[in-house]
Amino acid sequence: MTERKTNADQLITTIISGIEDVKGKEITVLDLRDIENTVCDYFIVCEGTSNTQVNAIVNSIQKQVSKTLKDKPWHIEGTDNAEWVLMDYVNVVVHVFQKQIREYYDIESLWGDAKTTQIETSY
């Protein structure tokens, strides 16, 4: 169990680094491990200001994870319109939104029982 947590911690740190490299905004980590019947252990939610930035965030995450951990997402969807891109790393699922789409779906509220961590950015 600890190996899985260590791997998840490394993956989360690397994903956040990828988001920060291209100035993704409002980064939130939702810990879903104490909630029954969840699809994964963690959600990472962030936003970009345009479809160009959303795609840049997705590409940055992929490059960072590939370079640092030699891993790739199991599945990615939403890159065509880049309003909401989902990246599935099995235990960690990343949601990259444009601001208005994030507000509309408000997935943080849907998972209100999750332990939430806001990531402070310096930009």
The pLDDT of residue 4 is above 70: no
What's the rounded Cα separation, in Å, for the pair 101 and 11?
25
Question: pLDDT tens digits for 52-98?
Answer: 999 999 999 999 999 999 999 999 999 999 999 999 999 999 999 99
CB 45 within 8 A of CB 30: yes
What's the rounded Cα separation, in Å, for the pair 17 and 64?
8
What's the rounded Cα separation, in Å, for the pair 121 and 123?
6
pLDDT at 91: 94
Buried b / exposed e over 52-67, threshold 16 CB at 10 Å, is ebbbbbbebbbebbee
The answer to pTM > 0.85 is yes
Domains of the chain as residue ranges with CATH: 2-110 (3.30.460.10)
What's the rounded Cα separation, in Å, for the pair 27 and 42?
13
What's the rounded Cα separation, in Å, for the pair 21 and 120?
14
Mean pLDDT of 23-33: 97
The DSSP 8-state label assigned to residue 79 in this structure reads: T
